[in-house]
Amino acid sequence: LEPKEEYGSKALAQDVMRPRRSDPPLAVLTQEGMSVGEVEAMVADTDYSGFPVVVCQESQRLVGFILRRDLVISLENARQRQEGVVSASLVFFTDHVPAQPTSGPPAVKLRGILDLSPFTVTDHTPMEITVDIFRKLGLRQSLVTHNGRLLGIITKKDVLKHMAQMANRDPDSILFN
Ligand code: ADP
């Protein structure tokens, strides 16, 4: 991400973020309501480095971001060290965990491993600014929101790929299209 030359692209964060229209939806966790088994299945079915955590599927309001490796280690730990944890145990990323019914399995509390202020840009943020922020803050990823709703994610690799694409194009078409 060396600032070697002027970045002339008029692209916006929404043009670079994933998922693309044809991609499967963003893999997100909800701050409550998911079981250990469901979270493990999401981790096993994807190879993303991290997952946004939202209030609920309907609102898509961002709560934080969790790294895949921290999630894997914490779930393994909970299974091994926390008495009674099974696939049906509920996972909570919330501040407050409601009392679990004494008959059911204990809850797993994971708020401690959540990044509560992940970097975000809006869908209309120009890529020029986004690239600058990635460079200056040394970001690995940024989340993309619209009116507080989580829309997507841009990783450092997405930014690099986008810049490589721009560099391969006729400079005029980048500046004036
Ligand atoms: P990298 O871009 O370094 O390979 P990832 O493996 O995390 O990092 O992401 C691979 C691709 O999937 C990227 O294009 C990224 O934008 C996208 N992506 C990352 N996390 C998620 C997620 N939770 N849900 C959907 N897509 C994601």
Q: CA-to-CA distance for 121 and 33, rounded, in angstroms? A: 27
pLDDT at 8: 61
* End-to-end CA gap in the chain: 24
CA–chain centroid gap for 111, Å, is: 15
DSSP string for 10-44: --BHHHH-BS-TTSPPP--EESSSEEHHHHHHHHH
Distances (CA, A) of 175 to 10, 107, 162: 7, 54, 15
ipTM of the complex: 0.99
pLDDT at 166: 85
Distance 61 CA to ligand 1 centre (A): 19
Q: CA-to-CA distance for 173 and 169, rounded, in angstroms? A: 7
pLDDT at 160: 94
Helix orientation angle between 68-81 and 36-45, rounded to the nearest 10 degrees? 140
Distance 49 CA to ligand 1 centre (A): 7
Q: CA-to-CA distance for 68 and 85, rounded, in angstroms? A: 20
Distance 141 CA to ligand 1 centre (A): 9
Q: Which residue is listed with tokens 């409601």?
A: 98
Give yes or no for residue 153 CB within 6 A of ligand 1.
Answer: yes
Q: Are 173 and 40 in contact (CB under 8 A)?
A: no
The tens-digit pLDDT sequence of the chain (177 residues) is 655 555 566 899 999 999 999 999 999 999 999 999 999 999 999 999 999 999 999 999 999 999 999 999 999 999 999 999 999 999 999 999 988 888 889 999 999 999 999 999 999 999 999 999 999 999 999 999 999 999 999 999 999 999 988 888 755 555 544
Architecture of domain 13-176: Roll (3.10)
Residue with CA closest to ligand 1 atom 6: 48
pLDDT at 3: 54
